[in-house]
Amino acid sequence: MLGLTDVENAAQRLCGHLLNTPCVESRTLSQLTGAQVYLKFENLQYTASFKERGACNKLAQLLASERQRGVIAMSAGNHAQGVAYHAQRLGIRAVIVMPRLTPGVKIERTRGFGAEVLLHGDTLDEARAHALQLAEREGLVFVHPYDDEAIIAGQGTVGLEMLQAEPGLDVLVVAVGGGGLIAGMATAAKALKPGIEVIGVQTSRYPSMVNAIKGTHHPQGSSTIADGIAVGTPGVITQAIIAEKVDDLLLVDEGDIEQAMVMLLEIEKTLVEGAGAAGLAALLKYPARFAGLKVGLVLCGGNIDPLLLAAIIERGMVRAGRLARLRVSARDIPGSLAKITATVADAGANIEEVHHQRAFTLLAAQNVEVELVVQTRGRPHIAQVLQALRSAGLQAEEQH
């Protein structure tokens, strides 16, 4: 089985080719969660993800004959970019097979690193099967995203760096898809500090490793915001390491991940994708589990489609009560809409959308229903706006 020496050797190979990313305390997140939270900013890597560590370690060890043949990988994005970038740097041909529904930003960035991108299948498993066929047919070296000891050792350098930066960490909280990152980190961390806890986090929509390790039968396979950890088949090598070295696996929901993403953006001014926010999502969902501990979180990636990000920010504003949808009923007479908007303005809220409804309403024919989307300062402010509308003789309620 993989050991600390493999991870340390990987760290030497990577030296000078990747960032030793910052690992710093977030005082605000520490106050909010009740734990002492340290963040490892892997979203600052050149390809915006930890994945290039494993890719670099794997490609650096290829034989001259293998380099000449070229490499192939299947990936939803981050592994693809890591392989493409380091293959380009080393002068190796790279072919990447991606599922058809991969976000456009990831496809274009992978092409930008000089790789040949093929879109095939609707899932990672379908893309993998096609990549393996091509590897056989064209004699390409298959670079697995997680089930390969060289890849796992490369990812393990994250744990090495975290403990060098903060030797006092009590627990590492790591997102789990196929398991490459947590398997490598657990190998390094448990060897350096046997008492440290290593905890994995999966989205409840893709709990494949939780099912494999705990013997549960959670359903899986629906779409998730954490596409980087949407892996249906856990690795064989990674599963064995996780079973031996990882202390626990937790599940988080989509809403937990969205909330964590918005918090990191707002508090830390840092952009993470869904998988990158999974660790913080676990802290928010299970605060008692981590209370008073020194917790290391890996912000493992920052590649996200801008339109998806915009939707997540808006939904986060709704959850925080800073965007609200109000329904106001009034007499259908001249000046009634002006009265509504003036009342909202006087209450200090900003109107984002107005929908004036006559036909599709159960109100009396001489009445009108106005739906407003307003920007507020939070839940107490929504209550103040509603009170102002009611005091002005209007019927008003919040719509959820």
The yes-or-no answer to whether 4-49+148-315 and 51-142 have a common fold is yes
pLDDT for 400 beyond 80: yes
**For residues 140 and 69, what is the distance between their CA atoms, to the nearest angstrom?**
6
- CATH number for the domain running over 321-399: 3.30.70.260
Query: How far is 121 from 98, CA to CA, in rounded Å?
Result: 8
Q: What is the pLDDT of residues 283-338, one digit of tens each?
A: 999 999 999 999 999 999 998 888 889 999 999 899 889 999 999 988 888 888 89
pLDDT of residue 364: 56
pLDDT band at residue 269 using 50, 70 and 90 as cut-offs: very high
**pLDDT for the residue 362:** 58
pLDDT at 66: 95
What is the reported pTM?
Answer: 0.90
* Mean pLDDT to the nearest integer, 141-152: 96
What average pLDDT does the segment 149-160 reach? 98
The beta-strand segments (E) located in the chain are: 23-25, 36-40, 71-74, 94-98, 116-119, 141-142, 171-175, 197-203, 248-252, 294-298, 323-331, 350-357, 367-375, 395-399
The pLDDT value given to residue 7: 98
Percentage of the residues of the chain whose pLDDT score is greater than 70: 98
- pLDDT of amino acid 227: 87
Under 8 Å between Cβ of 196 and 245: no
Using the structure block, give the residue that is written with the tokens 């959820």: 400
- Return mean pLDDT, the chain: 93
- Are 56 and 18 a contacting pair, CB within 8 Å? yes
pLDDT-derived band at 359 (thresholds 50, 70, 90) equals low
Q: Given this model, what pLDDT does residue 128 score? A: 86
What's the whole-number mean pLDDT along residues 58-77? Answer: 93
Q: Are strands 395-399 and 323-331 parallel, antiparallel or unpaired?
A: antiparallel
Within 8 A by CB and 6+ apart from 239, the residues are: 179, 209, 212, 213
Q: Which fold has domain 51-142?
A: Rossmann fold (3.40.50)
Q: Give the strand order in the sheet containing 94-98.
A: 116-119, 94-98, 71-74, 141-142
pLDDT at 360: 60
Rg (Cα) of the chain, in Å, rounded?
25
pLDDT above 90: residue 57: yes
For 191-221, give the DSSP string.
HH-TT-EEEEEEETT--HHHHHHH-------
CA angle (273, 122, 136) in 5-degree steps: 105
Of the pLDDT bands very low, low, confident and very high (cuts 50, 70, 90), residue 201 is: very high
Domain spanning 4-49+148-315: CATH 3.50.50.60: no
| 3-class DSSP state of 129 | helix
43: which DSSP letter?
A: G
Give the pLDDT of residue 105.
74
- Give the span between the Cα atoms of 145 and 147, in whole angstroms: 6
- 126 close to 101: Cβ distance less than 8 angstroms: no
- Buried residues in 370-388 as b, exposed as e (16+ CB within 10 A): bebbbebeeeebbeebbeb
Percentage of residues in the chain with pLDDT exceeding 90? Answer: 82
139-143, 366-370, 380-384, range with the lowest pLDDT: 366-370
- Check residue 307 and give its pLDDT: 87
Distance CA 120, CA 98 (A): 6
- Which residue ranges make up each domain of the chain? 4-49+148-315, 51-142, 321-399
Mean pLDDT lowest for which of 139-148, 278-287, 299-308?
299-308
